[in-house]
A and B are shown apart, each in its own frame.
Chain A
């Protein structure tokens, strides 16, 4: 089936199979590999994107479900160049190691700060608990969220 969706402010069309995930469509059909596929089960948060402003795991959203909706991926946070304040904070605070979980964490953090510009430590823990990172130990991710909140 052919679907239309708004990805990062652009109207895009894709030919999809009904059982295909939004993540697959983004990565394999629309040339947006920033959202990562790490668990396929909604358990790691590496594919976090915003769907009509809500934080979702793109691996659990079927492409057909996203038809006519707005999607924002890590590629859409900043412009063609430059960094979104959250991305800048992640880079500066050293919150990135292997970086495979980073796009998901960046989207989740941007979503958190959008709703809550000055989150407490506990609010950060709760908001980011769906994004698994195996490298950093999360400590510098805390630093990055606080840094981004202050900018």
Chain B
């Protein structure tokens, strides 16, 4: 039965309260551990198409008569367009239409960041469009940009009210502490750099708009485009069959979709608006940089008495202030916690969600701080974390729907025991060490989400839902879930997704929510279909439904009878069995989170500042694992992004003009295969008994969260240097080493003075 409830919905750590209609979820969870298909490694059901180069991405869509758009972007971080003439652009070869500020809400004549869209053109080829743009006559009034985040906070230039939350009494916490550590941490701006750039192809036909787009949320694009263009949502069709990466930056339609739609409307032709790599690194979002001024206090036994965090998020010209203080609030059983987050509005490109926005940055600060505290207290870092283990959510006292972080710590111990052995590898300038960091994040998903399951007379099954597979392997996981419920082998399941006109509403693929939101809906639809097969079989074989079940492609009865499933489906002829499923509600009054711990082994060349990551062990608790092969691949992918974030990636600006300097992939340094360490991925793999019919949480984001702190802590272990700023480039490493030497020198001098005095 459909039920109307008022509930909290969480996406990327944002909670909103809303009315929601949910369907009951009456299915019992499957037993824990690997089943017939679920819980066993499954190669991609679409691996073949992708490996053959046949998968059709948005970038590969070719439509008859399609035009290509190019976008004129502001070369200035803050400016006004004094005058703009596009007449020569319009006269250039191949040009069919131009747009200027006023023609679309995504174009502006007062750009607030380098790369803001100002005008656009559609031409027969992209080269023509680009060449035509060079003819634009723009007179700029260049204004002084605001680039310093601390200055922005001081002046009150914020994207939203500061987010301050406090529990307990932090002043008391400080006074009760026997050791207090204060430190300032900084993280840099990181660019998503999905390999497929942001792009859309738009086509109008009889008042209906088709949008082919590289996106993480078909229905979000549909809703936003419909609202903006004042169309009934059913007049907008959104298609994305294969998608070349997003990492949070492709949750909405972006300016390019509206540019393509308007140009397509004006020309009556399909229009592609595809960003170049340079544009990608200007105007599609970023993980914003942060400044984190943190305090931790503890008793000598390690019991935390206080945690304080003052965070400045350099959000950019628009965007939202991510929850950088979230890990500090959620990770430890500390009674006195205060976090204050400021979202600085600057003349820099707007941020966008990037794989655990806020928590990646905040975990770097918090987990480095914990290690600095452990050093101060002369405590083992793992011991310190276990001593402050949180059994319930201290933010509002809710129990966790499940939490197995202690089990993660337990499994970490044999790896952590290698520490002495790792340190002993140090030789000459190369110092080895080991560090760890914990992870907390959301990832419970939620309703609404729907799926249909269609069984044909040949006994083959089609899962139909208008979700998207952003590359994470959703197609495969959904096929596994349907196969498990129907007792069929994976090769008999087809998953049809990627088109809002061909399936029911499905959730966003962001916030680690795809599996926990969509998986239960698919299982519920498969169960509905299975129930109907059993009903028909019961009539056909004159048995009671309750003695029949589906297993290994057969209908089996409790007394040992077994019939191939086709015996029943054949009876359908042209008919089909249609199963319908929906995502049930989240457990009420509970907090659903994901947890984990990562351990890093590093080597540091103290003469050249080179840091090599040798090994990372990742142990995560995300409930039931559907596909261990896909899951370990997610972990490895998160870790290598984390390594890039830690060591080499940095979007650099010119400090005077706010120009983005690192637009290409030689300047913005993504890790290559040569940077990959040995990675060990483990999962606790215990279903969350309170969460849906699957007990699965999401895994997209957790693995990137603790990586940078684990590496920084390993560096501290290896060298004694406190690295507090990302990325840990050679200059940062050498700076931290120099500071450590100076500190040690001072301590030695102090010791010598002490010795002299005592003598």
Contact = CB atoms under 8 A, between A and B. Distances in A.
Interface in A123-141: 124-126, 128-141
Contacts of B194: 98, 100, 134
B154 interface: no
Contacts of B741: none
Interface stretch (B32-40, B468-476, B550-558, B723-731): B468-476
Contacts of B472: 97
B638 interface: yes
Interface in A88-128: 88, 90-94, 96-103, 106, 124-126, 128
Contacts of B666: 41, 43
A87 B44 CA distance: 13
A140 B633 contact: yes
Q: How large is the interface on A (under 10, 10 to 19, 20 to 34, 35 or more residues)?
A: 35 or more
B680 to A, nearest CB: 10
B245 interface: yes
B195 interface: yes
The B interface, classified by DSSP as helix, strand, loop or mixed, is loop
Contacts of B676: 125, 137-139, 142
A139 B671 CA distance: 12
Given A46-B195, A137-B640, A139-B679, A94 B629 contact: yes
A57 to B, nearest CB: 12
The A interface, classified by DSSP as helix, strand, loop or mixed, is loop
Contacts of A134: 192-195, 245, 247, 637, 641, 670
Nearest to A37: B59
A39 interface: yes
Contact of B47 (A38, A40, A92, A142): A92
Nearest to B681: A139
Contacts of B636: 136-140
Interface string B45-60: 0111011111111011
Nearest to A140: B633
B471 A99 contact: yes
Nearest to B45: A91
Contact of A131 (B62, B471, B671, B673): B673
Given A125-B674, A134-B670, A73 B53 contact: yes
Contacts of A130: 672
Contacts of B244: 36, 38, 98-100
A141 B679 CA distance: 13
Given A132-B672, A139-B636, A141-B673, A75 B53 contact: yes
Most chain B CB neighbours (cut-off 10 Å) among A37, A99, A103: A99
A98 B51 contact: no
B277 interface: yes
A40 B60 CA distance: 16
Contact of B50 (A93, A96, A133, A142): A96
Contact of A41 (B50, B53, B638, B664): B664
Nearest to A20: B127
B69 to A, nearest CB: 15
B630 interface: yes
A44 B665 contact: yes
A80 B638 CA distance: 35
A103 B53 contact: yes
Given A98-B195, A125-B674, 11 more contacts: A34-B53, A34-B54, A36-B59, A40-B276, A87-B52, A90-B51, A96-B44, A101-B195, A137-B641, A138-B673, A140-B636
13 contacts: A17-B127, A33-B56, A34-B52, A36-B244, A38-B197, A88-B51, A94-B633, A97-B245, A99-B55, A101-B195, A136-B640, A137-B637, A137-B641
Interface of B: 41, 43-44, 46-48, 50-57, 59-60, 62, 127, 192-197, 242-245, 247, 276-277, 470-473, 629-630, 632-633, 635-641, 664-666, 670-674, 676, 679
Closest 6 CB pairs of A and B: A34-B53, A98-B471, A137-B636, A91-B47, A100-B244, A99-B50
